[in-house]
Amino acid sequence: MLIEDTPDVRTTLIHRADSPGGQWWRSAVIYQVYPRSFADSGGDGIGDLPGITARLGHLSRLGVDAVWLSPFYTSPQHDAGYDVADYRQVDPLFGTLEDADALLARARTLGLRVLVDLVPNHTSDEHAWFRAALPAPAGSPERARYIFRDGRGPDGAEAPNNWRSVFGGPAWTRVADADGTPGQWYLHLFDVHQPDLNWENEEVRAEFEAILRFWLDRGVDGFRVDVAHGLVKDQGFEDWAGHAEMIAGDDAGEEGVGPAPMWDQPGVHDIYRRWHEVLASYDGDRALVAEAWADTDEAMARYIRPDEMHQAFNFDFLCTEWSAPALKDSITEGLAACDSVGAPTTWVLSNHDVVRATSRLGLPATGKGPNGIGADDPQPDAELGARRARAAALLMFALPGSAYIYQGEELGLPEHTALPGDVRQDPAFWRSGYTEKGRDGCRVPLPWEADAPAFGFSPTGASWLPQPTAWAGFALDAQKGVAGSSYELFRKALRLRREFDLGTGSLAWVDGTWGPEQGLLVFTNRQVIVAVNLSDGPIPLPDGLDVILASGELRGELGHQALPADTAVWAVLED
């Protein structure tokens, strides 16, 4: 097919191709492993590092370039490991340091790079530093590592300000002095068991640079930085009229609400410049990845300037509604922002904090979606969501830049929307008074074998969260070798992405007869033309189109076909 031979069609180049073979992270497909839900080798119902190591072959066969491991550090597990008590040790739930070394060695053998999570905004309240801070007096070096403040009012009984926790409730908790009398308050933007560190303190900065070196010395290829837009707070600690959200400017448009004083502060970039220097001192092209919920693409791009981080998740893409004009704008703006600082755009559709794309895209209102779905909430249209998620995956894999897969996404896993309250473990569920269902529904352990106990997740059939019986049909062994399965679709997409160098490619929009006005998103990347039908009905494809991949079955005869609603197709352009 030649685009110039198609009447009333015009192309607009918005992103130029890079040369293949550059820095790996500029075009990598990276697979997120949530350790407690990936594979359990010990039979206790909780996934572990040996279980991950045993299943790394699956990721190699899938065709990803790297693995990102969510936290496996020593932790009381109040927030599934994001409350770290020791950044240099593996929690016994997950194994040992030797198990971590074995995982890294196996990944290297398979040609997989490994990123690990780093949680610098806060520690666990069981961290040695915080345990030392509690009996220490106000103004002591021990307390200076965290954010302790005197309360307001004549007896200090009121919190230092009105900030709220992201998980619900106040962001301040009062502690007792050594003599038992009420004392200062400490800040925790998340759970009460997650005290925020004081990043104005040089000791904190030096400690985390040492933590980076500890894991780099063990061979990790980089870090995904949790709440990267946090860490530094406005030192005025004034009251703020906004809501407790992760996005810096989420409330800024409301009357009387200014920018959030706890997110996206200018001083955070000094930290990442220092971290960049640490990673640059090592061989092997190490990378920093920002989880930065910035309010604009331009703000997000500040985290990936040449002397700071290497990737930042494009959450705007994840949160965009299922609409051709909206997605076109999101992709255009994301590429432009990253191009302005010479960084790749990093695409993502799902992770451990949001409703799975397969379910989210089946809701009446698409976009970021709710904070979890319960049995009493409006339920997603399963067939619609699955169809859209397959199309969205082909859209994402065809875009230039890096892309992330959340574990189970390759299986087409939906959200578990019927978890009973007594098994939920997300602190957001409890602190919100059960109004927010939270993130447990996207964290249910994976199904590997349709007929095995716990679908092959655990040898004993134990599972820290219950798996739906319907997940037998999503098991890996039920999809391998099955034409049209979600797993085989992902494998083929990743193979073709490599074959055509799409990750380092260009992007030119195709408009006119085809375009957002017709509910169609069409672009070219190198020799491939991609079309995604986001309308309510089928759209005819040009005759003679050389289709190499489709997210669903096309209508009509070969060469004279139509693209059904919520379906994506890749085709090869003629020279």
Exposure string of 13-29, with b = 16+ CB inside 10 Å and e = fewer, is ebbeebeeeeebbbbbb
E strands within 73-221?
A: 73-74, 86-90, 113-118, 148-149, 172-176, 182-187
Closest Cα partner for 511 from 338, 326, 324?
324
- Specify the residue for token string 């997300």: 426
d(CA 345, CA 350): 16
Half-sphere exposure of 379 toward its Cβ, with a 13 Å CA cutoff? 10
Answer whether 431's CB lies under 8 Å from 167's CB: yes
Indicate left, alpha or beta for 82 from its phi (over 0: left) and psi (-120 to 50: alpha).
alpha
Alpha-carbon Rg for the chain, nearest whole angstrom, is 24
222 vs 27, 120, 293, 311, 535, CA distance in Å?
A: 15, 15, 20, 11, 40
- Specify the residue for token string 């040695």: 128
Closest Cα partner for 115 from 30, 50, 36, 51?
30
d(CA 346, CA 115): 15
By residue count, the chain amounts to 575
- Burial class of residue 139 (count of CB atoms within 10 Å of its CB; 0-12, 13-18, 19+): exposed
Amino acid symbol at 433: G
Q: Active-site positions?
A: 226, 291
Long-range contacts of 471-477 (CB under 8 A, 24+ apart): 471/413, 471/447, 472/447, 474/408, 474/411, 474/412, 474/413, 474/447, 475/411, 475/447, 475/448, 475/449, 475/450, 476/58, 476/411, 476/446, 476/447, 476/448, 476/449, 477/448, 477/449, 477/450
Answer whether 118's CB lies under 8 Å from 72's CB: no
d(CA 190, CA 81): 13
3-state secondary structure (DSSP) of residue 22: coil
DSSP code of 355? -
Strand-pair partners of 563: 539
d(CA 454, CA 450): 9
Backbone angles phi, psi at 115, to 5 degrees: -105, 145
Answer whether 314's CB lies under 8 Å from 345's CB: yes
58's tokens: 């699956």
